[in-house]
Amino acid sequence: KIPVIIDTDPGIDDLMMLLVAITHENLDVRLITTVAGNQTQDLTHQNAVNFVNYLGKNVRVARGLEKPIFKELETAADFHGETGTGPVEFPNVEIEFSEKAIDAMRDVIMTSDEPVTIVTGGPLTNIAALMLAHPEVKSNIRKISIMGGAATGGNVIPTAEFNMYVDPDAAEIVFRSGVPIILSSLDVTRQAYLTNEELEEIKEIGTDLSDKVYDMLKFYQEAAVGTPFHEPYFEEVVRLHDVCAVAYVIDPMLFSGNFYYVTIERGASVTSGTTVVDYVDALGMPPNAYVLYDVNRDSLVDLFIEAIHKV
């Protein structure tokens, strides 16, 4: 089994990613850490704890930072709802104490006898803080599979994707860390959609989980219509962005991509948070990321629907 840490801001598609990860037989999810992004840290943390409990799994969940490194937090409450789980409520777990994410990540990475894979579905705040506080962890991280960025068009401002836009400073620290990076940007996650027919198939599974998944995804789909957060055709499909980052770890053959040098625009300008992908090697820098550009959608959908059946 592949040892993984998942850093996430649930968030509707984040819960879908957690579902796939926690139920997959090839992954050993050793830790979930929560980040402020789609909602505040209070909510993303509570949502992760509630969801793990709802699935009946015993996974460590640690609490990350409250806000981006420099910027003020901007959430995506319009698309994920006032609680972060759209119209759905999971049984609430009383949280008495939460470990700190940075300490817990260090502990898991340094005590692992094989290198650990990190999967991220939110802003990179926690991961950047980990690298700054404990640079020794880098040598025992196999790779970081990141959902974020956009080469051909953003979803918050014209060129930037939400996770990178929320904390571009953290992203730059991670991209400069030297740890191998796999980037599931919007260029690939926009292809990772469910059709309305597939959504109805999910509803027909007829379990409590499938009902909740359906309700959350419908909310996510409808909330995005007509906004820059999502894009044309959103009435007909719903995108499973964060699921890509974990699907790559489960089966890299589902994707194609290429190595590029990627840097993050951090200026207070109209392009702040843009992932600048050096396709033409204009900067002459060694590649620091494997940028995915294609996914086998049918297999990804199968992987997702199988996860719902497993619960």
The 170-209 site mask, x for binding ligand BDR (CB under 6 A), equals ----------------------------------------
The 268-307 site mask, x for binding ligand BDR (CB under 6 A), equals ----------------------------------------
Q: Is 121 an interacting residue with respect to Ca ion (CB under 5 A)?
A: yes
Q: Is 163 an interacting residue with respect to ligand BDR (CB under 6 A)?
A: yes
- Asked if 134 is an active-site residue, the reply is no
Q: Is 105 an interacting residue with respect to ligand BDR (CB under 6 A)?
A: no
Taking each helix axis from N to C terminus, what angle separates 125-133 and 168-175, rounded to the nearest 10 degrees?
A: 50
Spell out the residues 6+ positions from residue 179 whose beta carbon is closer than 8 angstroms to its own: 131, 138, 141, 143, 144
Tokens 């705040």 belong to: 125
Please give the residues from 111 up to 140 whose contact with ligand BDR meets the rule CB under 6 A.
121-122
CA within 13 Å, CB half, 13: 28
Lookup: tokens for 69: 């490194």
Asked whether 6 and 31 are in contact (CB, 8 A), the reply is yes
Closer CB to ligand BDR, 39 or 117, in the complex: 39
The type of residue at 52 is V
Cis peptide before 11 (omega within 30 of 0): yes
Distances (CA, A) of 302 to 158, 213, 277, 297: 32, 15, 30, 9
Among 3, 5, 14, 255, binds Ca ion (CB under 5 A): 14
Closer CB to ligand BDR, 225 or 285, in the complex: 225
Among 5, 49, 147, 224, binds ligand BDR (CB under 6 A): 147
Shortest spacing between CB 147 and ligand BDR, in angstroms = 5
CA dist 289 and 234 (Å) reads 29
Catalytic choice (24, 230, 241, 309): 230
Largest Cα–Cα separation, the chain: 54
Among 293, 311, 273, which Cα is nearest to 160's?
273
Spell out the residues 6+ positions from residue 210 whose beta carbon is closer than 8 angstroms to its own: 202, 203, 204, 308
Closer CB to Ca ion, 15 or 289, in the complex: 15
Q: Is 39 an interacting residue with respect to ligand BDR (CB under 6 A)?
A: no
Q: Is 7 an interacting residue with respect to ligand BDR (CB under 6 A)?
A: no
Among 149, 136, 137, which Cα is nearest to 33's?
137
Contacted entry of Ca ion, ligand BDR, none for residue 162, CB cut-off 5 to 8 Å set by kind: ligand BDR
Distances (CA, A) of 43 to 84, 192, 291: 7, 26, 31
Among 162, 175, 255, 304, binds ligand BDR (CB under 6 A): 162
Q: Is 234 an interacting residue with respect to ligand BDR (CB under 6 A)?
A: no
Contacted entry of ligand BDR, Ca ion, none for residue 84, CB cut-off 5 to 8 Å set by kind: none
Closer CB to Ca ion, 163 or 274, in the complex: 163
Contacted entry of Ca ion, ligand BDR, none for residue 190, CB cut-off 5 to 8 Å set by kind: none
Among 242, 262, 263, 291, binds ligand BDR (CB under 6 A): 242
Q: Which positions touch ligand BDR (CB under 6 A)?
A: 11, 13-14, 38, 76, 79, 121-122, 147, 155, 161-163, 241-242
Catalytic residue IDs: 230
